[in-house]
Amino acid sequence: MLKKRGIDVWALIFLIFVISFINTNSAQNFSRNNFPRDFVFGTASSAYQFEGAVKEDGRGQTIWDKFSHSFGKVIDFSNGDVAVDQYHRYLEDIQLMKDMGMDAYRFSIAWARIFPNGTGEINQAGVDHYNKFINALLANGIKPYVTLYHWDLPQALEDKYTGWLSPQIIEDFAIYAETCFKKFGDRVKNWITINEPHTVAVQGFDVGLQAPGRCSILLRALCRAGNSATEPYIVTHNLLLAHATAVDIYKKKYKPTQHGSIGISLDSFWYEPLTNSKDDIEATQRAIEFNLDWYLEPVILGRYPSSMVERVGSRLPKFSPTESALVKGSYDFIGINHYTTWYASKNKTNIIGALLNDSVADSGAITLPFKGIKPIADRASSIWLYIVPSGIRSLLNYIKQKYENPLIIITENGMDDANSIFTSREHTLKDTKRINYHNDYLTNLLDAIKEDGCNVKGYFVWSLMDNWEWAAGFSSRFGLYYVDYKDNLKRYPKDSVNWFKNFLGSA
């Protein structure tokens, strides 16, 4: 009897081994070949987080230069003065992308390198730098995807007329955008007007945790000025009109000869109802509308979501008929930056909402990554980033069903590790968690495309390398490549680089 049981145990162990072997080989067979032939893979970055060289070659000051040098705004008291020095090391970094087999690189142009004062005379040194950068990318077979605005507003415009709070910004952004189309559009065939307008409005003008750091009186310990009840909506309105004006210029004056495409990158969590109650299901819908649809509905349909019109009332700006026509259809593609999924439930007491009177409270939804004390999933390093791969498929299906399946590019997706003095470089390079993250999110993305028919044509990893992560400073490592901040910013491939090499067929 014991012998028979022993044989059963060993048989079971062998069966587990076989299943594991099959699953492992199945994972290895998952590659870019499973995706459509014209699908684009790349990595993403932004000027202030990567470039450094903030006082070189005529670059003007930005709101993030000022904000990051203000006491207590960045968790580790760092700034982007040097960042990861891509301004000087771009040839080295392009080689890293090429070695991985990436098709494209998403980066942003620093407005203050082209117009140091936001307007006026063009800084030729800035134009020359981006010409060299773009040419080097193309020479190595890497397509440039250029973001015009990734949060680094020239400080001169903030000082002159409070930046995005003034409609004057629409005209100045249009001039800057058209200058870029003229200077670079013969080679740049993919443009993104604005990155994450929702983050700009909420983090910068509602809760004050990002530049320019404005918020209401109850949060005055964080901010010197602001109105959380109105400013996020005003800023959003100007962001959308600036975006649409730039798109209109491009489509009418440059696209016919340059043959490029243009869109906007919107950030969005996915939200799941905390319970199956009607109240929580409705609150979940509002949470999505106050995050994604706040921007997507105007760009596609020329109007704000009805729930926002109802709940925000007179504080929500109105599009004139001319503005609505301008904003409606102002895209060739929609960029989606997606990282995580949270729960949503009805705010039953609304005490916080009554006290804060802001855009977050206006939704009437409470969003958290916990059910009781149980987290929704395993967490990355950032306190907000929980790993829920199915969320990307749900989000893409939501967009497909509500907005008739527009062309989507995933312009950011990734996860971070902590930058800890107690963790060695060797340990950090073994980033199995990141490999699993991308494998699982890409698997769900592929299912959304092939099984559900979602119209997705690209995927950009955030990020190429560890970098300066806004208010988190250097405390967070999102990169495929490790950057040694203590040794001349040397780049080292993490295991995820080898995973992508195999996935992309460049190994």
Would you place residue 364 in the very low, low, confident or very high pLDDT band (cuts 50, 70, 90)? very high
Give the tens place of pLDDT for each residue, 160-180. 999 999 999 999 999 999 999
Is 471 in contact with 49 (CB distance < 8 Å)? no
Res 17: pLDDT: 42
Q: Which residue has the higher pLDDT, 10 or 4?
A: 10
Question: Helix 124-139 and helix 168-184: axis angle, to 10°?
Answer: 50
Count of residues making up the chain: 507
Strand-pair partners of 265: 195, 335
Distance CA 475, CA 416 (A): 10
Q: What does the pLDDT read at residue 349?
A: 80
3-state secondary structure of 244: helix
Q: How far apart are CA 400 and CA 406, in angstroms?
A: 7
For 252-263, the pLDDT digits (tens) are: 999 999 999 999
pTM listed for this prediction: 0.94
pLDDT greater than 90 at residue 15: no
Q: Residue 264 pLDDT more than 50?
A: yes
Q: At what angle do helices 390-403 and 294-301 cross, to 10 degrees?
A: 30
pLDDT confidence of residue 393: 98
Number of other residues whose CB lies within 10 A of the CB of residue 4: 8
Which helix (H) or strand (E) segment holds residue 194: the answer is strand 190-195
At residue 8, the pLDDT reads 53
Q: Per residue in 454-496, pLDDT tens?
A: 999 999 999 999 999 999 999 999 999 999 999 999 999 999 9
Please tell me the predicted confidence (pLDDT) of residue 506. Answer: 78
**Could you check whether the bond before residue 496 is cis, i.e. omega within 30 degrees of 0?**
no
C-beta of residue 23 within 8 angstroms of C-beta of residue 442:
no
Work out the average pLDDT over 406-420.
98
51 HSE (CA, 13 A, CB side): 24
Eight-state DSSP code of residue 140: T
More confident residue, 224 or 467: 467
Cβ–Cβ < 8 Å for 456, 408: yes
Q: Is residue 333 within 8 Å of 407, Cβ to Cβ?
A: yes
Backbone angles phi, psi at 272, to 5 degrees: -115, 140
Beta strands in 268-423, from DSSP E residues, in sequence order = 270-273, 333-337, 341-346, 365-368, 370-371, 374-375, 408-413, 417-418
Please state which of the ranges 181-190, 342-351, 488-497 shows the lowest mean pLDDT: 342-351
- Looking at the predicted structure, is the pLDDT value of residue 19 above 90? no
Please provide residue 13's backbone torsions phi and psi, each rounded to the nearest 5 degrees.
-60, -45
Q: What single-letter amino acid sits at 306?
A: S
State residue 6's pLDDT score.
43
Q: What are phi and psi of 450, to 5 degrees?
A: -85, -40
- Residue 107, pLDDT above cutoff 50: yes
Residue 160: which residues within 8 A CB-CB, separation 6 or more?
Answer: 118
Q: What is the DSSP string of 79-94?
A: -SSSTT-HHHHHHHHH
Biggest alpha carbon distance in the chain?
Answer: 90
pLDDT at 222 (0 to 100): 79
pLDDT at 18 over 50: no
Pick from 375, 394, 378: nearest CA to 445: 394
pLDDT at residue 351 tops 70: no
Active site members: 196, 412
Question: pLDDT band at 420, cuts 50/70/90?
Answer: very high
The residues facing 229 across adjacent strands are none
Question: Per-residue confidence at 354, pLDDT binned at 50, 70, 90?
Answer: low
Residue predicted with more confidence, 13 or 393: 393
Of residues 354 and 392, more confidently modeled: 392
Could you give the CA distance from residue 274 to residue 342 in angstroms, rounded to a whole number?
9
Question: How confident is residue 122, by pLDDT bands cut at 50, 70 and 90?
Answer: very high
- Percent of the chain clearing pLDDT 90 (strictly above): 89
Rounded Cα gap, residues 463 and 483, in angstroms: 12
Q: Which helix (H) or strand (E) holds 301?
A: helix 294-301
CATH topology of domain 32-504: TIM Barrel (3.20.20)
**What number is the average pLDDT over the span 58-62?**
98
Q: Quick check: 20 pLDDT over 80? A: no
Mean pLDDT rounded to a whole number for the chain:
93
